[in-house]
């Protein structure tokens, strides 16, 4: 029988840390039960002050009250958080996958585990206060109150502050598990981050991704293998490539870049095309959600209402709509950044293939469908030229990460790729 961590593909380090934490948490519970101390710190280790500061949990022992799971979309942040929640509720303290604690948590029906999934609207301050209040109650199952916040990057500022208060003075048996793309201040406030332990998830290896596509999504093994390799281990991207012809078309356009770079003009054209394609892809991914969210908020606010109090309600509504627009704008920016980054990763894969071929390294190409072209590049450029081009792509990613304007970074990269 697979345990609760089985679906967390290719995250060995994170799984080791989470298992250790679950064991430490179980030890804290056992110590509490043995000492029969009704309230306050139960552990004999450390000073009373240390215990008070950590609410009775010793962080050095592997367990703490607040966690952030970070990683690119598709790396399994919420899968990891749910598995950890199950391990905390597991009667064996291991996440065995068989006991009632594991079962109900994985099935979403454990009384002491709350999964907060912001559907449509972001998590507002009212919801967060209610959540924090309930999370402070004694766990009915005698173990932990666990609150999982998926997309913690979508907390409003006020909701973030309400959460921060709870994390700063955590009730002794409450654990918060947050999921966010990164610990960048755009995603999670610096003060919340400073109170949490971070579990970084990486992109799983291609073989593990292919296995999941076949097992869970019923995709044919050869398609799954191609998609997993082409997506360089990114689960969601691999699934899209396997299923969505538009995603395959966009990828092909990116991989056509190397043979299009015939001069300075062509390099600038290629830069424009890449930027615009990323914008179009991002638009397609967020427009539908934007429209649905706005409609949901307008309905919730009773837009167009009349009568007593309607004027005041509409003033409040305008503020909420403005906040929604602000969040949607920042989400659009991130979607563009993500789409451009995916294109750059595809391009880097191409030059990596050229490099490994020039070195005659015994590794499989990332892009099997452009392997011949990468091979031609390997002959023309040699290993050194392929490496310079790969470095130009990676430098472009790093520049954008460091907030260089994407168009400028991409133009510089295209020129470097053309000149070699």
Three-state SS for 366? coil
Segment near Zn ion (CB under 5 A); pick from 61-69, 94-102, 127-135, 162-170: 94-102
Residue 92 CB, nearest approach to Zn ion (Å) = 5
Residues touching Zn ion: how many (CB under 5 A)?
Answer: 4
Q: How far is CA 325 from CA 159, 302, 332, 337, in A?
A: 17, 18, 10, 18
Residue 46 CB, nearest approach to Zn ion (Å) = 29
In this complex, which beta carbon is closest to Zn ion, that of residue 102 or of residue 135? 102
In this complex, which beta carbon is closest to Zn ion, that of residue 100 or of residue 316? 100
In this complex, which beta carbon is closest to Zn ion, that of residue 111 or of residue 133? 111
Q: How many CB atoms lie within 10 A of CB 317?
A: 18
In this complex, which beta carbon is closest to Zn ion, that of residue 95 or of residue 181? 95
Segment near Zn ion (CB under 5 A); pick from 10-18, 82-90, 118-126, 347-355: 82-90
Helix axes 206-217, 235-243, angle to 10 degrees: 60
Chain residue whose CB lies nearest Zn ion: 90
Segment near Zn ion (CB under 5 A); pick from 92-100, 167-175, 284-292, 367-375: 92-100
Task: Please give the full DSSP string across 342-360, using - where no structure is assigned.
Answer: HHHHHHHHHHHHHHHHHTT
In this complex, which beta carbon is closest to Zn ion, that of residue 85 or of residue 213? 85
In this complex, which beta carbon is closest to Zn ion, that of residue 4 or of residue 409? 4
Dist CA 18 CA 13 (whole Å): 9
196 interacts with Zn ion by CB under 5 A: no
Residue 140 CB, nearest approach to Zn ion (Å) = 17
Contact present, 371 and 351 (Cβ < 8 Å): no
In this complex, which beta carbon is closest to Zn ion, that of residue 177 or of residue 255? 177
Contact present, 274 and 316 (Cβ < 8 Å): no
Residue 7 CB, nearest approach to Zn ion (Å) = 15
374 interacts with Zn ion by CB under 5 A: no
Dist CA 59 CA 52 (whole Å): 12
Residue 201 CB, nearest approach to Zn ion (Å) = 22
Which of 62-91 are b and which e, b meaning 16 or more Cβ less than 10 Å from the residue's Cβ? bbbbbbbbbbbebbbbbbbbbbbbbbbbbe
In this complex, which beta carbon is closest to Zn ion, that of residue 104 or of residue 285? 104
22 interacts with Zn ion by CB under 5 A: no
Segment near Zn ion (CB under 5 A); pick from 93-101, 108-116, 207-215, 395-403: 93-101
90 interacts with Zn ion by CB under 5 A: yes
Outline where DSSP puts E strands in 183-228. Answer: 197-200
Inter-residue long-range contacts of 304-311, CB under 8 Å, 24+ positions, other chains counted: none
Range 95-124, binding Zn ion (CB under 5 A): 96, 99, 102
Q: Strand 66-70 vs strand 174-180: parallel, antiparallel, or unpaired?
A: parallel
Contact present, 232 and 344 (Cβ < 8 Å): no
254 interacts with Zn ion by CB under 5 A: no
Rule CB under 5 A: which residues touch Zn ion? 90, 96, 99, 102
């Amino acid at each position: 029988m697979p345990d609760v961590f089985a679906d967390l593909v290719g995250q060995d380090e994170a799984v080791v840390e989470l298992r250790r934490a679950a064991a430490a948490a179980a030890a804290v519970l056992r110590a509490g039960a043995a000492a029969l101390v009704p309230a306050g710190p139960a552990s004999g280790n450390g000073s009373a002050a240390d215990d008070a500061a950590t609410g009775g949990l010793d962080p050095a022992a592997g367990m703490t009250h607040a966690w952030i799971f970070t990683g690119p979309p598709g790396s399994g942040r919420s899968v990891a958080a749910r598995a950890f929640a199950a391990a905390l509720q597991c009667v064996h303290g291991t996440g065995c996958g068989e006991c009632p604690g594991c079962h109900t948590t994985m099935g979403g029906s454990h009384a002491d585990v709350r999964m907060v999934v912001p559907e449509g609207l972001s998590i507002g301050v009212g919801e967060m206060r209610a959540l924090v209040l309930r999370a402070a109650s004694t766990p009915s199952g005698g173990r932990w109150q666990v609150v999982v916040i998926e997309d913690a990057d979508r907390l409003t500022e006020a909701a973030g502050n309400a959460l921060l208060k709870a994390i700063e003075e955590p009730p002794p048996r409450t654990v918060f598990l947050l999921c966010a793309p990164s610990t960048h201040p755009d995603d999670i406030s610096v003060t919340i981050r400073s109170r949490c332990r971070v579990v970084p998830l990486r992109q799983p290896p291609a073989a593990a991704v292919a296995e999941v596509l076949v097992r869970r999504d019923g995709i044919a093994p050869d398609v799954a293998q191609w998609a997993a390799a082409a997506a360089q281990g990114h689960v969601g991207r691999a699934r899209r490539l396997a299923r969505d012809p538009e995603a395959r078309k966009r990828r092909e356009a990116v991989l056509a870049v190397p043979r299009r770079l015939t001069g300075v003009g062509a390099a600038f054209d290629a830069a424009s095309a890449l930027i615009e394609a990323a914008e179009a892809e991002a638009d397609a991914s967020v427009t539908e959600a934007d429209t649905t969210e706005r409609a949901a908020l307008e309905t919730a606010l009773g837009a167009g209402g009349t009568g007593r109090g309607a004027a005041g309600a509409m003033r409040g509504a305008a503020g909420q709509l403005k906040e929604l627009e602000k969040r949607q704008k920042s989400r659009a920016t991130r979607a563009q950044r993500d789409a451009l980054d995916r294109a750059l990763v595809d391009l880097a894969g191409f030059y990596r293939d050229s490099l490994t071929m020039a070195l005659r390294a015994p590794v499989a190409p990332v892009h099997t469908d452009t392997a011949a072209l990468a091979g031609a590049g390997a002959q023309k450029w040699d290993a050194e030229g392929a490496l310079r081009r790969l470095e130009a792509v990676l430098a472009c990613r790093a520049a954008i990460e460091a907030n260089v304007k994407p168009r400028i970074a991409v133009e510089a990269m295209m020129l470097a790729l053309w000149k070699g």
